Amino acid sequence: QVNLVESGGGLVQPGGSLRLSCKAVGINFRIHDIKWYRQTPGKERELVASITSGGGTDYADPVKGRFTISRDNVYRISYLQMNDLNPEDTALYLCNVNRAGVPFWGRGTQVTVSS
């Protein structure tokens, strides 16, 4: 059974940093691309960052230069390092893996940026 668990969210002041983690079990982690999304009430889920099985990365324009996605295939964890956070980054952050066309999601971790 595939299970994704996000952690690391919290309340942070503008300009601060957080590192999110996505732990995967039940999946051959190293062969899959990992994606991080975020969602706020009333808005569509937004793709924030992605990392391929080979380590190639891509970022949404609003987070380029501030967020860094990485992966540890040994421990089956993906990280999202978020720096210089601003209130517009406030959202529920979720990780995603697609296996054979089937999407798997974690429950997310809440990030709130506020003074």
Residue 1 has pLDDT above 90, yes or no: no
Helix boundaries (H) for the chain: none
Residue 13 has pLDDT above 90, yes or no: yes
- List CB contacts of 114: < 8 A, sequence separation 6 or more: 11, 13, 14, 87, 90
Q: Which of 5, 55, 6 shows the shortest CA–CA distance to 30?
A: 55
Q: Which two tokens stand for residue 111?
A: 């990030």
* Interval 43-83: pLDDT, tens: 999 999 999 999 999 999 999 999 999 999 999 999 999 99
Distance separating alpha carbons of residues 39 and 55, to the nearest angstrom: 24
